[in-house]
Structure 1
Amino acid sequence: MPEQTIGEDVIYYAVHRDPEACHTLVLIHGAGESHQVWPGALRNLPGATVYALDLPGHGRSRGRGRSSIAEYTDRIVNWMERVGLSRAVWVGHSMGGAIALWAALHNPEWVAALVLVATGARLRVSPLILEGLRTDFPRTVELIVEWSWGENPPARLVEEGRRMLLAADPAVVEGDYRACDAFDVMDRLGEIRAPTLVIGGTADRMTPIRYAEYLAAHIPKAELVRIEGAGHMVMLEQPEAVAKAIRSFLDRSGCSCDSPGLWKDPL
């Protein structure tokens, strides 16, 4: 699978190319995760070229984790430059959604649209988790896993999620959660001009559905899709429902390569 060296980082990514693609998507995972949190229904989305990357220090990527949402955003822009992408639909889960929001505010020329999955305009983290990631990583992972799933999730997926977090560098995971805790763009959402799809699970305990509702109410070109019974890992719990929502969002634009409409330059 492809890798891209950028300074001290080696960024791993998977890519699926549809020969008739009208859209380019970049999938951005959340805190302590990797590109594997994106199910095949999204990584192989029809009508799209889809990139799913591992952030520095995560999954198969090498390098150090970052301490702020802004630093992660800058690295993704660097990576897009290296792989020849000029604009894309930024699809972010949790911390990845914060990264996508930051890009829409600070690097809008790189953002064709946003898909914000189980995230919020502010991502305050419980001090119990922040302290626990430093002092008792395994026990804190169990707490995160407990809060990450909705109603009756498949045991196999829960176990895979647990293994992914336990395999991560505790310092990187702690840095991710501290970056989330410092993130707050609640007062700036009205500046975002990119068309936006917000997806939230009604049983999400990490970023409750009210977070998604706030985003949809305050981003000018936003719409909200609620996934009933899903938790924070909504795209794994109900992949077809999430993929359907994203496909519908993209289809309403026509082809982003030659149709203004939804994809009109947000600048």
Structure 2
Amino acid sequence: MSRVRTALVRAAGAAAGLAVAGTAVGVARRHRVIHRRGAGDLTPFGSLRTPPLTVVADDGVPLHVEIEEYAAPPDQPRRPAPPLSIVFVHGYALNLDCWHFQRAGYRGLVRSVFYDQRSHGRSGRSDRHHATIDQLGADLARVLEETVPEGPVVVVGHSMGGMTIVALAEQRPELFGERIVGVGLISTTAGGLDPSRILLPMVPSRLGGRGLHTGVRALAHGHRSVDRLRRVGRAVATVATDRFAFGDEVPRSYLDFVDEMLAATPFEVVAEFFPNFRRLDKFDAVEVLGQVPTSVICGTADKLTAVGHSRKLHSRIAGSRLLECEGAGHMVIMERHEQVNAELDQLIAAATERVGRR
């Protein structure tokens, strides 16, 4: 997409957002969003923090949660509660910090919930039998119950986080349209994934095809040695991250930040969750998302969950919007954070309008 076309698309999106909002309040909110642009680049990675709380999953695993509360503008009376909450669900081998640009961009503008998935980040370790996409869906349900006990909510997932939302839709379809009023699916799929793509930034050596699954199982038994190799071979790992996480050239700080998250995830955890991707087959479950505003977002140069997966999701979810970020890779939430945040703003506006029509 040319720069001119990109500018036109963004301008059209902004105009549509104002049309959806349709009120002085909507215009004021949009102005605050615009004012926050660039906040992520001005904020050091990993520095956005709020006092943590713990949500205990149904099998006893503690999940680390951080909440950014809504802050009413000084010229507006503080409402007893924000009209909407957003729950962000991160992907495989990452942690809640991957939402850096979304957290910085929406800080204070809306109530936002971030959490580390089980065995990731600062959350507790899962046993191998509960390291499944279905369990992650159940975990999300618990997070919603504990952190958004009432009021409408939008759920946004990246990569495995999107799969988590799809699992929740399969398990609890009644939540969509009542409690959940909007969905964002970013760089994700509901099935048909080539698992070898997912592992490429994290394996210490070249593995492929059927041998990949055998190799992962073998490496899992010696996971401590693998972790040492990953630390020693950081230069090789950095090259892999650059190649498979991003599409265009990005600042070195972006690359280092993602690399640190990947390196901090023990290979034992990587190996435990890995079999899920080959078995994933939940496209029939996504149709329920057509009951609420849904945005599907992907980079056209995503080497891990190729854009075709997002196109298929879009085709299966009635009324959904599809944003293809030209030239962006799997970490589109960082690489094209302005485009992603603009699309999420449209999602929030549509979800808010839906709540207002109740």
- What TM bracket, shorter-length normalisation? 0.7 to 0.9
Q: 1:50: which partner in 2?
A: 112
- Distance in 1 separating the partners of 2:67 and 2:105: 9
- Distance in 2 separating the partners of 1:52 and 1:161: 17
Which has more helix, going by share of residues? 2
Q: Is the 8 A contact 1:29 1:96 kept in 2?
A: yes
Could you list the per-position Cα deviations for residues 144-182 of structure 1 after superposition, in whole angstroms to 9, with x for gaps in the alignment?
623121111222211221121111121212222222222
After TM superposition, list the pairs within 5 Å mapping 1:13-162 onto structure 2.
13-20=65-72, 21-42=82-103, 44-45=105-106, 47-64=109-126, 66-86=130-150, 87-108=152-173, 109=175, 110-122=179-191, 123-126=193-196, 128=208, 130-134=213-217, 135=219, 136=226, 138=230, 145=241, 146-162=243-259
The question of 1:226 aligning with 2:312 is answered no
Which of the two has higher C-alpha Rg?
2
The question of 1:210 aligning with 2:308 is answered yes
- Distance in 2 separating the partners of 1:53 and 1:40: 15
- Distance in 2 separating the partners of 1:245 and 1:42: 15
Q: Which piece of structure 1 moves more, 139-148 or 179-188?
A: 139-148
- Distance in 2 separating the partners of 1:157 and 1:39: 10
Could you list the per-position Cα deviations for residues 190-221 of structure 1 after superposition, in whole angstroms to 9, with x for gaps in the alignment?
34333211001111111111111111111113
- Distance in 2 separating the partners of 1:178 and 1:203: 24
Q: 1:91 to 1:180 in 2, by over 3 A?
A: same
The question of 1:3 aligning with 2:53 is answered yes
Q: After TM superposition, give the deviation of residue 43 of structure 1 in Å.
A: 5.3
Q: After TM superposition, give the deviation of residue 259 of structure 1 in Å.
A: 3.3
TM-score by length of 1: 0.86
Q: After TM superposition, give the deviation of residue 237 of structure 1 in Å.
A: 0.9
Q: Is the 8 A contact 2:140 2:164 kept in 1?
A: no
- Distance in 1 separating the partners of 2:143 and 2:321: 29
Q: 2:260: which partner in 1?
A: 163
Q: 1:250 to 1:83 in 2, by over 3 A?
A: closer
Q: Is the 8 A contact 1:150 1:204 kept in 2?
A: yes
Secondary structure of the 2:248 match is coil
Matched positions, count: 260
Q: 1:244: which partner in 2?
A: 342
Q: Is the 8 A contact 2:84 2:352 kept in 1?
A: no
Q: 1:265: which partner in 2?
A: none
Could you list the per-position Cα deviations for residues 42-100 of structure 1 after superposition, in whole angstroms to 9, with x for gaps in the alignment?
45526421111001211111231642111011112122222343452110000100111
Q: 1:131 to 1:3 in 2, by over 3 A?
A: farther
Q: After TM superposition, give the deviation of residue 143 of structure 1 in Å.
A: 7.9
Q: Which piece of structure 1 moves more, 18-27 or 187-196?
A: 187-196
Q: Is the 8 A contact 2:190 2:283 kept in 1?
A: yes
Q: After TM superposition, give the deviation of residue 245 of structure 1 in Å.
A: 0.7
Match of 1:181 among 278, 294, 306: 278
Q: 1:84 to 1:38 in 2, by over 3 A?
A: closer
Which has more strand, going by share of residues? 1
Q: After TM superposition, give the deviation of residue 17 of structure 1 in Å.
A: 1.5
Q: After TM superposition, give the deviation of residue 11 of structure 1 in Å.
A: 1.5
Q: 1:11 to 1:44 in 2, by over 3 A?
A: farther
Q: In angstroms, what is the RMSD of aligned CA positions?
A: 2.5
Q: 1:31 to 1:41 in 2, by over 3 A?
A: closer
* Unmatched 5+ stretches in structure 1: 261-267
Identity %: 23
- Distance in 2 separating the partners of 1:124 and 1:99: 18
* Unmatched 5+ stretches in structure 2: 1-50, 73-81, 197-206, 220-225
- Distance in 1 separating the partners of 2:284 and 2:102: 34
Q: Is the 8 A contact 1:42 1:243 kept in 2?
A: no
